[in-house]
Structure 1
Amino acid sequence: MTQSCLNGDAPDVSFVLPVYNKAEALPCFFASLMAQQGDFSREVIFVDDASTDESRAVIEKFASVHDFVRVIANDTNAGPAIRLNQGVEQACGTYLALFDCDELLAPDTISVMLGMAREHGADMVHGKGRKTDALMAQAKADAIGVGVSVAVFEDALERILGRGIVRMTWLVERALFEKAGGCDTDVFIQDESLPLRLSLHARRVVDADMVVTVIPDAGSHLSGNKMQQHHDRFFVYAHFLAAHPELAPDKYRKVFGKCLSAARKAKRDGAPFNTLDLQCRYLAHKIRLGRSDLAELKRFESVFQKLPGIRRPINL
């Protein structure tokens, strides 16, 4: 590993990693990061979100041993969206490597993703995660290798509005992240907002059929809370509509439909929506009747805002 920009050299890749109560998983994750193959320089930025376990001590130990590692310590829990933005503000790599640090990286994850970004002129590259029943210490991530099936999309937003591309398994250009304004800081979890906001400004996205991380049985993920997922998904897309009234009509309808879909799933999982009203609005949207505008979403927004047990960002 070469020196990071802490010592005057801008690295090829900045790993930016929010941390909250992942002390047991962090040594295994960091070992998989240290085992990354390929000729590229890197820095590692851990952003502790006021962990209540030993996470901060673990990452501070990494930083004491390795000069390309730094720790941003916080005394208030604000959520991963805010903390990811905070970390990127201090990053200086050409690319950002954005992963969950309770998973294991395949040993050639970054070299393969970098190769794809450069080959296809893409500023967003996405891989897949694979769940395993193995505990963190026993889990193993195999090399990706060659012969990967790759889909390249010139219309990044169109791809993001499809399915299956919200895992935190991203390599993106830092310039794109900054242009897009990073994650939506009014939503706690960043999984949905980050690719959506990036895609509006991206040149090209690569969606690769490759396992870049293995996801062990290492405790609960924030995104495992289904109602939190529905809540955050609704507001991510509602905020996006509010910020971008200039969207082409077909994309506007798709984003609006994502809001309705989030409400329907929340209803299925116990949210107290009016069943008839929700179903009628959903069917009207499907057959292109009725309005698809923000005013139509207000009835659902108020219910989401009153849901119990939902984590929301704090105002820093």
Structure 2
Amino acid sequence: MGLGGFPNVSLAEARKLRDRWRKVAAAGRNPIREREAEQRAARREDISLAVITADAFESRKAELKGDGTAGRWLSPLTLHVLPKLGRVPVTEVDQRDIRDTLAPIWHVKAATAQKALDRLSIIIRHAAALGLDVDLQATAKARALLGKSRHQPKHIPAMDWRDVPDFYASLEEPTLTHLALRLLILTGVRSGPLRNIRLDQIGGDVWTIPAEAMKGRKGATEDFRVPLSAEAKCVIDLARPHARNGFLFPNSRNGVISDMTLSRHMERRGLEARPHGFRTSLRTWLAEATDAPHEVAEAMLAHVVDGGVVRAYRRTDYLEPRAKLADWWAKHVTGGAGQIVRIATVAK
């Protein structure tokens, strides 16, 4: 079986081809016939990693938030993998290719590298489902070659819950940035749903966030209800005059304010804490200043607890006790409650 002539096929490439086709022969299959079948398939369709990636993404869109329109699923690949391996046939991608591609970011951008590796595994399995002869263990072997990452994850800096009232009091101007930060603190939601809040999501004392907008609730089919304290409703009323195109916190380009707008405000104030850290402030207050049950405290932050079977039988989102806790948190934030909140009080 000829592998091609030099210099069109380098010595390294010839060795790789030799190893690959020897494995095919050892498995009792005909290497020449399989190569001819691949060549015919290649003439019919492009089986490059870039094309198979796009096909895999299309198949997974329904599982992704907003059908993957934000591009986050693809971004680790488009930034760090496809520029180097995009034109390579997926059948020729091996662990050394993956190792060499991800090595530059394995220790410095560990989270991104891990996402890229996980998604490459999905793409290779997708290629196998299409009937292509790929190495399903390539990513696992690449992980072994790359070794353990030296990167140490850093927690997002958070403000001590005792210091939140002073910061909240400083947000006295009725600007979009100040009002968005105030509502973020009061509700404990993530920045994404907060920045994209729509007027039609607000009904009385409840703000309903669509299921697809909730991070960390994969496969969720139910919307998430956020209880609104009197202070939170006041902030919403102050923001209503700014509303445009149905959004409570619009920007000047028909979109919504960015996450960086909120972060930069805190940076300019010389604060280490970041907007996302207010979720930690709220959760720590729940742990240290209340005796709310664990499942209620976690529900305040929309955290998923217990297994799927338990959740299937426990059909409650603890809205009523969460509403009472939201009221007490608002009182603390506005400087009106410093005492310990007992669950007996919350449960009344």
Q: When the two structures are superposed, what TM-score results if normalisation uses the length of structure 1?
A: 0.21
Q: Determine which structure has the larger helix proportion and give its number.
A: 2
User: Could you say which structure has the higher strand fraction?
Assistant: 1
Higher RCO (CA < 8 A, seq sep 6+): 1
**Larger Rg, first or second structure (1 or 2):** 2
TM-score by length of 2: 0.20
